[in-house]
Structure 1
Amino acid sequence: MPDAAKHHFVVVTGHLPVDPIPDGGDRVRWRASRSGVNAALHPVVARRHGTWIGWHGLADRQLGRFDWDGISVQPVPMPATDVTDHLGGHCETSLAPLYHDAVEPPQFDRRWRQAYRRVNDRYSRAVADIAAPGATVWIHDYQLQLVPAMLRVLRPDLLIGFFLHVPFPPIELFEKLPQRGEILGGLLGADLVGFQNTRSSANFCQAVTEFGEFRMDADVVHPNGRRVSISAFPVSVDAAGFERRARDPQTQHRAAEIRAELGQPRTILLAVDHLDPAKGIEQRLDAYHELLAEERLDPATTLLIQVAVPGRQHGAERPDAWTRVERKVAQINGLYSWITRPAVHFLHQALTPQELVALYLAADVMLATPLRAGMNVNAKEYLACRTDDTGTLLLSEGSGTAAGFPEAVTVNPYDIDAFKSAILTAIKPGNSDGRRIQMRAMRRRLREHDVHRWATQYLDALNDTAMRNRPASSSLAARVPLPMSRRTQPSTNCGSS
């Protein structure tokens, strides 16, 4: 086992990139978990031989460090009460709804906030114990927004970055948060706070200006004499990895099998989301239902595959959302299905990476239409898999992905009439050469801005911030190697949305 004091690159997330498979005894087997955060970070941590800290998914269970898929994994324990109050309460019932434009009304509870502080403190101490002097620590997402400031008190020698994968809300929503000052102070413990897009970074800057007592110059905040940079870094995917899977003959054979099993429909629409009101599944089903009812889509030639990936719900399972989606699917299938061909194939299950890529290859249109999202990773995975430049991407204006792919069909998912028109535009036979050119342009941009370039941009900016923060004579520890030679500047437009 390596020396626990020699971890120079540490990534910290609310959950580890694996889910436990208990075998009834003391041993635990692991399987890869499916989330946008994990999909983005796994290739980055593996390439840099980093250490990953997070909760292992088992309440009241202490586990030691282990290796998984080329990554050193350091579990953080979680009492059952904190699973309920921190994750199910404050994270999933207070913060997540608020940060997604209050699509669901957020609920607040003092007990949940206390649990949030306890868990963030536990993470901070876990990182402080294993990080090498001067190590780079990269903290992720809304579950751990207090960790940067807590960690800086414990280990002021560390280079601390934070990245928010969900949108940061406008000030009219953020001001409702009872602990808004504590959240801002927690995030400003980092050297660099990164967001998915300039709208979120501008919202954060406005919140700092409105509620903080810090001097601010453009995209730099000055808390207690330090410099904290604020910037946008749109997250991406391992484009080359998905291309390799998509070119695999077995994967292509499976994609052909899927179309055959579905009766060789002319058009397959695909959507992949967590079962969450912010993902817009209900609006998508409403638009599809009306198109069938108006006979503008033929269920004999068109079908929808809706994959609802099971999330890690901890006391906030949203039974009402589940019931509404289930009812809509049943209604559509009751009216428009054949005995052997449902109009909607609804899969509430976690798919293997191979099966997911086969679905991307089988689908003619990808519907990535959340009501609000920081970045739609599934949309970028779909693009990466379309190695023959076929297929059509329909994107929500509420996703940070839309700004980077103007060639895609875009829609306001709240506007059902516009949604219907966008679906028809996406499936309409048209200029196939023109569509291939558009797909080729999106795929080229994706390859140029893949997950490794995203990480390099962020870590370069983090190191640059550290150089400005520390005296020239100070001795900086060796930083994590950045294998990509091309240094690029992130978007820093803090003053516009």
Structure 2
Amino acid sequence: MSRLVVVSNRVPVQEKKGAASAGGLAVALEAALEKRGGIWMGWSGRINEEGEPGPLSIEQRGNITYALTDLTSKDVDEYYFGFANRMLWPICHYRLDLAEYGRTEMAGYFRVNRFFAHRLAPLIKPDDIIWVHDYHLIPLAAELRRMGIKNKIGFFLHIPWPPADVLFAMPVHEEIMRGLAAYDLVGFQTDHDLENFAGCLRREEMGDMIDEGRFIAGERTFRGGAYPIAIETAAFAEFARRAGSHSMVLKAQQSIEDRSLIIGVDRLDYSKGITQRIDAFEHFVTNNPAHQRKVTYLQITPKSRSEVPEYEAMQRMVAEQAGRVNGALGTVDWVPIRYINRSVSRPVLAGLYRLAKVGLVTPLRDGMNLVAKEYVAAQDPDDPGVLVLSRFAGAARELNGALLVNPYDIVGTSNALARGLNMPLDERRDRWRRMMNHLLEHDVSRWCDDFLGDLAA
């Protein structure tokens, strides 16, 4: 069996194997690496202020070699905070108004990908299979090909892929498209993303789909497919069941008293629709007097990319909006919105999902959204909650038991909240069972196996 080489911007090295903080993706990739033997390479998260990164930090754990590299301040500013997160991220999330192009940042993005390729190349054996992850590293395969690497290289995009009219607003879209064509297999979250990619190739006359899932671009033939990312469903369900006895979950349950809990969990990002969600909750409470003082909305939103001005401004906006709603609607013994601006441990999060009568997952645009899947997996089969889900999340293509909403439609989302909280038990069970059966069949291990199987083939 060929070795597996995984490359990602960051490498989630745990203090100990199977640590509770490890997410499903890390668990699945570590399992695949442990089974095949291999390397996981990426940025260490450290910034070398001396101007030049030191040598690769190599750590062996079982069959896995972790290879971490530092970056310089200039690298991080241009490659990560600059082009990746102020150009690619907003473009892929359809936010042309927030995209900022700078030639310096663009050059830094390609320079750091070249740097990754030069650090990775000496570690590669002739029969290794290489799997590159996410928008930070799109040009990596092209850089490796220039160095003579002929291995099978796959790429998976964790965020959406936009249609041609959005992508072409990016001045270097042709270079990005050629970067993807250098892979042997390009994986997207949904069939819609795959269709958008095919449309971009066709519109720019760079290539075309020659048959189902097979593309040609210039002299290269490669494959593309939809591989909806998943979670470790059965393990997370058991995790949530046991989390009910966690002291913090018990305290949260006591503080909620007999009120119905609505939960939202999002990294602080303009793509998540948090401000629209708060507006929808305010509309729901205002227009449903019977639920006033009987419902609590918990929004957990860890800080994200605070060095990027748009994120710092959004942090202030969301906090002020939650404060305004609490000031307008709250009473001495009732705070309608509990807004937490920091991370919550995974055991506590699983227990809170299970307590919540409604999971409110309403991004304006999302590649998949694993919170939606975790919420479903965490539910009590005898008394499950209801998932209210944005139709613009990739998860909407799979979770056919959710109440789908347009997050821009404040009244529609408000009505979905009312429907979810008032839904009869039989309907809740039926909707949950349909979604849970799908998640059990299509878990993260199958996602990993499906992609690697197609890449190897």
TM-score between both structures, scaled by the size of structure 1:
0.84
Q: 3-state SS of the aligned residue for 1:11? A: strand
Query: Could you list the per-position Cα deviations for residues 305-362 of structure 1 after superposition, in whole angstroms to 9, with x for gaps in the alignment?
Result: 1011232454445222112111111011112234454211111111211111111112
Q: 1:111 aligns with which of 101, 104, 110?
A: 104
Are the aligned partners of 1:146 and 1:187 in contact in 2 as well (CA < 8 Å)? yes
The yes-or-no answer on 1:233 pairing with 2:221 is no
Structure 2 residue ranges without an equivalent (≥5): none
In structure 2, what is the Cα distance between the partners aligned to 1:431 and 1:32? 35
Match in the other structure for 2:150: 157
Cα distance change of structure 1 residues 42 and 315 upon mapping to structure 2, 3 Å threshold: farther
Q: 3-state SS of the aligned residue for 1:194? A: strand
Cα distance change of structure 1 residues 129 and 32 upon mapping to structure 2, 3 Å threshold: farther
Match in the other structure for 2:404: 410
Query: Could you list the per-position Cα deviations for residues 214-261 of structure 1 after superposition, in whole angstroms to 9, with x for gaps in the alignment?
Result: 354033223454420011111101112212312326646653432112
The yes-or-no answer on 1:210 pairing with 2:198 is no
Question: Counterpart amino acid of 1:404?
Answer: E
Cα distance change of structure 1 residues 249 and 418 upon mapping to structure 2, 3 Å threshold: closer
Q: 3-state SS of the aligned residue for 2:155? A: strand
Cα distance change of structure 1 residues 307 and 73 upon mapping to structure 2, 3 Å threshold: same
Q: 1:190 aligns with which of 183, 188, 193?
A: 183
Query: Could you list the per-position Cα deviations for residues 478-497 of structure 1 after superposition, in whole angstroms to 9, with x for gaps in the alignment?
Result: xxxxxxxxxxxxxxxxxxxx
Q: 3-state SS of the aligned residue for 2:99? A: coil
Question: Counterpart amino acid of 2:230?
Answer: S
Question: Counterpart amino acid of 1:122?
Answer: F
In structure 2, what is the Cα distance between the partners aligned to 1:131 and 1:137? 9
Deviation at 1:48, TM superposition (A): 4.7
Aligned residues: 447
Match in the other structure for 2:367: 374
Deviation at 1:460, TM superposition (A): 1.2
Match in the other structure for 1:485: none
Cα distance change of structure 1 residues 121 and 314 upon mapping to structure 2, 3 Å threshold: farther
Match in the other structure for 1:17: 12
In structure 2, what is the Cα distance between the partners aligned to 1:355 and 1:72? 31
What percent of counterpart residues are identical?
30
Q: 3-state SS of the aligned residue for 2:335? A: coil
Match in the other structure for 1:201: 194
The yes-or-no answer on 1:52 pairing with 2:40 is yes
In structure 2, what is the Cα distance between the partners aligned to 1:388 and 1:324? 37
Q: 3-state SS of the aligned residue for 1:264? A: coil
Match in the other structure for 2:141: 148
In structure 1, what is the Cα distance between the partners aligned to 2:323 and 2:61? 40
In structure 2, what is the Cα distance between the partners aligned to 1:312 and 1:343? 28
Question: Counterpart amino acid of 1:8?
Answer: R
1:30-49 equivalence runs, <5 A: 38=26, 41-42=29-30, 44-45=32-33, 48-49=36-37
Are the aligned partners of 1:263 and 1:341 in contact in 2 as well (CA < 8 Å)? no
Q: 3-state SS of the aligned residue for 1:56? A: strand
Match in the other structure for 2:295: 302
1:334-483 equivalence runs, <5 A: 334-388=327-381, 390-428=384-422, 430-464=423-457
Match in the other structure for 2:82: 89
TM-score between both structures, scaled by the size of structure 2:
0.91
Query: Could you list the per-position Cα deviations for residues 151-202 of structure 1 after superposition, in whole angstroms to 9, with x for gaps in the alignment?
Result: 1222433110001111100111011111111101111111000100011111
Question: Counterpart amino acid of 2:160?
Answer: P
Structure 1 residue ranges without an equivalent (≥5): 1-5, 21-30, 465-497
Cα distance change of structure 1 residues 182 and 155 upon mapping to structure 2, 3 Å threshold: same
Deviation at 1:68, TM superposition (A): 6.6
Which protein is richer in helix relative to its size?
2
Are the aligned partners of 2:20 and 2:347 in contact in 1 as well (CA < 8 Å)? no
In structure 2, what is the Cα distance between the partners aligned to 1:133 and 1:212? 33
Q: 3-state SS of the aligned residue for 1:248? A: helix
In structure 1, what is the Cα distance between the partners aligned to 2:305 and 2:14? 9
